[in-house]
Amino acid sequence: MQNLPFEFSHGGYIKEQTGQQRTALRALTTETIDVETDFDYLFPDSARDPNSLLPADNNQDIIDKLKKLGEAIIDREGPEPDDANSIIPPVYTYWGQFIDHDITANTDRAVTDLQTDITKDDFTPLSPDFVIDKLKNLRRPIFDLDSVYGDGPTLDPEKPTQAKDFYQENDPVKLKVGVNAKEDASGRPIPGAKIPPEEDLSRDLPRNNRIAAIADSRNDENLIVAQFHTAFLRFHNAVVDWVRKNEPKNAQDNKKLFVRAQTLVRWHYQWLVVNDFLKTVTASKTVDSILCDGLKFYHPRNGNLFMPLEFSVAAYRFGHSMVRAAYDYNRNFTNKPGALTDATFNLLFAFTGKRDIGGPPGPGPSNTLPFNWIIEWDRFVDKESAAKRQRNSARKIDTHLAFPLSKLINEGNKDPQDPDPIQQLLKHLAKRNLLRGYFLSIPTGQSLADKLGITKLTVEELKQGNSPELNQALEPFLEKTPAWYYVLKESEVRAKGDSLGEVGSRIVAETIIGLIKNDQSSYLNECQHEHGHKHDHERDFARKHNRVWNPSKGVKLPNGGEIRTISDFLEFAGVLPASSC
| pLDDT score recorded for residue 85 | 96
Give 70-119 as a DSSP string: HHHTBPPSSSPPGGGB-SS-THHHHHHHHHHHHH--S-SS--GGG---TT
- Measuring CA to CA, which residue among 361, 363, 365, 364 is closest to residue 417? 361
Question: Under CATH, what is the fold of the domain 37-176+213-329+375-518+550-572?
Answer: Myeloperoxidase, subunit C (1.10.640)
pLDDT at 4: 46
Which candidate, 106, 513, 471, places its Cα nearest to that of 275? 513
Cis previous bond, 197, omega within 30: yes
> b/e per residue, 24-41, with b = 16+ CB within 10 A?
eeeebebebbbbbbbbbb
Q: Which DSSP string corresponds to 289-320?
A: HHHHH--SS---BTTB-EEEHIIIIIGGGGGG
Of 431, 339, 407, nearest in space to 69 by CA: 431
Dihedral of alpha carbons 283, 285, 290, 291, sign: positive
CB 75 within 8 A of CB 104: no
Per-residue model confidence (pLDDT) at position 288: 98
Q: What's at 50, amino acid-wise?
A: P
Closest CA to 258 of 99, 29, 555: 29
Going by their DSSP bridges, the two strands 136-137 and 37-40 should be labelled as antiparallel
Is the CB of residue 73 less than 8 Å from the CB of residue 400? yes
What gap in Å lies between CA 9 and CA 143, rounded to an integer? 20
Distance of CA 69 to the CA centre of its chain: 25
- Dmax over Cα atoms in the chain, in whole Å? 68
| Cβ proximity of 51 and 446 under 8 Å | no
d(C-alpha 218, C-alpha 228), whole Å: 12
Distance of CA 220 to the CA centre of its chain: 12
How many CA atoms lie within 13 Å of 292's alpha carbon, on the beta-carbon side? 6
- Does residue 326 contact residue 345 with C-beta atoms inside 8 Å? yes
For the chain, the domains span: 37-176+213-329+375-518+550-572
List residues bridging with 211 in a β-sheet.
208
- Phi, psi (rounded to 5 degrees) for 140: -75, 130
Residues 264, 218: Cα–Cα separation, whole Å: 24
Q: What is the pLDDT of residues 522-581, one digit of tens each?
A: 999 986 554 444 455 555 555 554 579 999 999 999 999 999 999 999 999 999 998 665
CB 208 within 8 A of CB 357: no
Q: Which residues lie closer than 8 Å to 198 by C-beta, 6 or more apart?
A: none
Closest CA to 204 of 177, 225, 176, 171: 177
Contact status, residue 499 vs residue 488, Cβ threshold 8 Å: no
- pLDDT (tens digit per residue) in 120-148: 788 899 999 999 999 999 889 999 999 99
Which amino acid is located at 100 in the chain? Answer: D
In whole angstroms, what is the distance from residue 319 CA to residue 95 CA?
10
Residue 40 CB contacts under 8 Å (≥ 6 apart), including other chains: 132, 301, 306, 307, 308, 309
- Identify the bridge partners of residue 308 per DSSP, sorted by sequence position: 40
- Secondary structure class of 461 (helix, strand, coil): helix
Q: How far, CA to CA in Å, does 189 sit from each of 68, 183, 184?
A: 47, 5, 7
**Helix, strand, or coil here: 219?**
helix
Residues of the chain predicted below pLDDT 70? 1-34, 107-116, 361-362, 407-427, 527-546, 579-581
- Partners of 167 in the β-ladder: 175
3-class secondary structure, 447: helix
pLDDT recorded at residue 407: 62
What 3-state DSSP class applies to 470? helix
Residue 297: how many other CB atoms lie within 10 Å: 16
Q: How many Cβ atoms from other residues are within 10 Å of residue 564's Cβ? A: 17
Helix axes 429-439 and 59-72, enclosed angle (nearest 10): 150
| CA dist., res. 32 & res. 12, Å (int) | 25
Q: Which residues contact 209 (CB under 8 A, 6 or more apart)?
A: none
Upper half-sphere CA count for residue 51 (Cβ side, 13 Å): 2
What percent of the chain lies above the pLDDT cut of 70?
Answer: 84
